[in-house]
Structure 1
Amino acid sequence: MTARDVDRFEADGRRLFGLAYRLLGRAAEAEEVLRDAYPRWTGRADAAEPEVGPTTLVTSLCLDRLTSARDGRERYPGPWLPEPVFTADDALGPLETAERRHSVSFGLLVLLERCAPAERAAFVLREAFGHSHREIAGILNVGEDDSRQLHRRALAHVGESRTRSAVPPEEARQLVERFLAATVTGDVAGLEALLAAEAVAWSDDGGRASTVRHPVRGRAEVARMLAGLGRHPRAAHSQVAVSPVNGQAAVVVHQGGELTAVLVPEFARRGLVAVRTVSDPEKLRFAARQLV
């Protein structure tokens, strides 16, 4: 291992973090993977291709974690959602295109939970990072035909997400600001005007609080639930703002200077189709550190 290889690993840290996060859905775990990968990579004696080598190592470590985490996620108390990441500073890499924003969106990361670990890896490597099937085969230690099959299986799981009409970022931000105003004022009619008929709301608190443990479905039901949040006594002591999270405009909630919740609305052309709220303190730690 040469000093040049070490420098390349360090310079490539943001891309590798973005890869690990997309594979795991957990920013804190992605950091741990990079900490584990660095000494292993710098201690290698082979002359692996500089870019593919670290990618292979990070992917392998993530696959190990995904395999061991499956049972725990199946037993998770309530809906499982990814950890939010503030992306104004390109923490997950440049997100200047709709495809790149989609690759870190809550909607896609939730759908990727349906995939087997190797399927998820094939999808992320192909769709988010543009690797060829020959490269993916080498990274996953499978044949090229196997890589294509893994990718096809993943596409079948996330097909619903890929068919939705994207809303341009500026328009999405305006819609989120309207959503926030209607929620804060408890405006049920205003919320219903924004929501699609099939809207769904999920809340992930890690089993620590009394939030809704099951999805709330339907325009009227979701509107009433959100309006209730705006009328809750604690809402009067909350500070709310719209910030870019996972490549999309989201509502960020602070109480007493502490980050307490992130609400990620998902808009399609037909209206607001999903609201995902993360209030699990452990899942907010990385995002809270980003704000310091």
Structure 2
Amino acid sequence: MTPAEEFQELRPLLFSIAYRILGSVSEAEDAVQETWLRYEGAATRPASTKAFLSAVVTRISIDVLRSARVRREQYVGEWFPEPLLADPYQDPARSTELADSVSMAALLLLERLSPLERAVFVLREVFGFGFPEIASAVRRSEPACRQLAVRARRHMDEGRPRFEADRKERRELAERFFDAFREGDVDGLRDLLASDVAMVADAGGKAPLWGRGVFGDGNVARVLAAMAAPFDRIGGVVQPHEMNGQPGAIFRDRDGRVVNTLTLDIYEGRIQTIRSVLNPDKLGHVGPVADAWAVVREANDARRPTD
């Protein structure tokens, strides 16, 4: 197998490592590309290509995360990870860890960790790397990595998100949710929401804030129902789509351009949190991006009665 073929075979793993460390599709793709350039330019071939490439992409991701943290501190409003339509890396032996670790809630929890803690946690708890490999990747001693892993696991366990184990039940509840949304059915929506449900959005100051800081089943149900009819009247389409391993949807304008994405956190048969990403900078990998301001203006006009 040629170096290029080996790299392509490992690319899904490398992207999945980088995305969990960075919470950004675009930055993860850049980290993977930089990893290839370093691998291609290496004077000798490593004994283990997987270990070498995993270590390189981890180090690059740690460096990128350190600089990204400064930008995130200055971010306008809520910051969410870039939505991931599908995880390219699959491992049946670690399917639960992979699915749990890519959810919006888990990625936001990972934001509480230091870059080193986050990298160690991802490599150890999500991908099952041994401590000798992790120590080499982050350039710390094995005892230091074990301590980092303990601290990271403790932080994660304190706030670990809880989801329904049965994916079929989650999918069916999400289908009922989007049916009720399309119909503008306030009561139907309220029946699916937790009493303390939160609906929050990431617009980054670059899009209108749909659903920012709306709390409680009654308020959220009314806001959602009020959105549905005008969005439908202007040709908007709600496309159910799994997002970050959780039920969700892509909202598109009449021309198929992406307005926003939506993800649902479901626990004990109720929707606990609804997160929407509207920042156009985070949606380019989903498809051509709509002008959300124009969509909202048109939807607001559609609310007004005509003579």
Query: TM-score higher than 0.5 here?
Result: yes
The list of structure 1 runs, each at least 4 consecutive aligned residues, that deviate by more than 6 angstroms after superposition, is: none
Q: AA paired with 1:206?
A: G
| Counterparts of 2:161 and 2:11, CA distance in 1 | 32
| Counterparts of 1:149 and 1:281, CA distance in 2 | 39
Identity level (%): 36
| Counterparts of 2:152 and 2:269, CA distance in 1 | 26
User: Does residue 76 in structure 1 map to residue 57 in structure 2?
Assistant: no
Paired residues of 1:167 and 1:267 also in contact (CA < 8 A): no
Give the alignment partner of residue 154 of structure 1, picking from 131, 152, 171.
152
Paired residues of 1:24 and 1:30 also in contact (CA < 8 A): yes
**How many pairs are equivalent?**
284
Aligned residue in 2 for 1:24: 22
1:42 CA displacement: 1.4
| Counterparts of 2:256 and 2:91, CA distance in 1 | 29
1:270 CA displacement: 5.0
1:43 CA displacement: 1.1
Partner-residue secondary structure (3-state), 2:242 = strand
| Counterparts of 1:224 and 1:73, CA distance in 2 | 32
Partner-residue secondary structure (3-state), 1:286 = coil
Aligned residue in 2 for 1:8: 6
Partner-residue secondary structure (3-state), 2:78 = coil
Q: Deviations over 1:61-116 (max 9, x none)?
A: 111110001121111111111111222xx534357833221121111111111111
Return the index of the structure with the highest Cα Rg: 2
Paired residues of 2:164 and 2:269 also in contact (CA < 8 A): no
1:207 CA displacement: 1.1
Aligned residue in 2 for 1:93: 90
Give the alignment partner of residue 195 of structure 2, picking from 184, 189, 197.
197
| Counterparts of 2:186 and 2:110, CA distance in 1 | 32
Give the alignment partner of residue 129 of structure 1, picking from 118, 127, 130.
127
Q: AA paired with 1:108?
A: A
User: Does residue 272 in structure 1 map to residue 271 in structure 2?
Assistant: yes
Please say which of residues 47-56 and 156-165 is displaced more in the overlay: 156-165
Paired residues of 1:126 and 1:133 also in contact (CA < 8 A): yes
Q: AA paired with 1:69?
A: A
1:217 CA displacement: 2.7
Where relative contact order (Cα < 8 A, 6+ residues apart) is larger, the structure is 1
CA RMSD of aligned residues (A): 2.1
Aligned residue in 1 for 2:32: 34
Kindly tell me: are residues 67 and 172 of structure 1, through their superposed partners in 2, closer, same or farther at Cα, counting changes over 3 Å?
same
Q: AA paired with 1:78?
A: G
Give the alignment partner of residue 234 of structure 1, picking from 231, 237, 244.
231
| Counterparts of 2:282 and 2:147, CA distance in 1 | 33
User: Does residue 173 in structure 1 map to residue 154 in structure 2?
Assistant: no
Q: AA paired with 2:75?
A: Y
